[in-house]
Amino acid sequence: MATIEELRQQYEGLEDQFEVGPESAIDSSCLLTFDYEYRGQDSEIVVDTDEFTAVCPWNGLPDFGTVTVTYVPDRSCIELKSLKYYLMSYRSVGIVQEHAANRILNDLVESCRPVRMRVALDYKPRGGLHTTVTIDYPQT
């Protein structure tokens, strides 16, 4: 089994053919929230977009997918336009699929502190393989 570092070495130089940005380009500071006036009610909010994209950190090839965020707010809700800008900040970032879903969840939980949240990242097949990554807060 190869480590992430070993895989990076195997693909060294290929990423120069494509723009592969660092994870530091992900802009969680653009996430905005607004006060939720119905605290204590178990309202479930579902937001999805099929326009998510990032790139493979080793070869620069694009990954496209659908992000679905399902959450029960506590004191605040995520402002949707800011969520769109946040997700757009991934478009040239080299990040593996499994890490992208976890990063999205962590950033969203940090911004709105929900009662619970689920992020599902359903990628379009690449190389004949279909991947869906789902992560929950709090972990079940």
Nearest to 111 by CA among 136, 82, 133: 82
Residue 30: which of 72, 81, 99 has the closest Cα?
A: 81
HSE-up (13 A, CA, CB side) for residue 91: 8
- Examine the pLDDT at 19 and tell me if it is beyond 80: no
- Is the pLDDT at 11 greater than 70? The verdict is no
Residue 108 domain boundaries: 28-137
Active site residue 77: no
Predicted local confidence at residue 4, as pLDDT = 72
> Which residues, in sequence order, are bridge partners of residue 60?
none
Is residue 39 a contact partner of residue 95, using CB atoms and an 8 Å limit? no
With respect to residue 86, please indicate whether it lies within any of the assigned structural domains: yes
Catalytic residue selected from 56, 74, 77, 112: 56
The total of structural domains in the chain comes to: 1
81 with 46: CB under 8 angstroms? Answer: no
- Is residue 59, in this structure, part of any structural domain at all? yes
At 16, is the pLDDT very low, low, confident or very high (cuts 50, 70, 90)?
low
Q: What percent of the chain shows pLDDT beyond 70?
A: 92
pLDDT tens-digit series, residues 119-133: 999 999 988 989 999
> Does residue 123 lie in a domain region?
yes
Phi, psi values for residue 62, rounded to 5°? -75, 145
Tell me, yes or no, whether 99 lies in a domain: yes
* Catalytic choice (30, 35, 63, 112): 63
Please report whether residue 17 resides in a domain: no
With bands split at pLDDT 50, 70 and 90, how would you rate the model's confidence at 107?
Answer: very high
Q: Which CATH number belongs to the domain containing residue 96 in this structure?
A: 3.30.1130.10
- 63 catalytic? Reply is yes
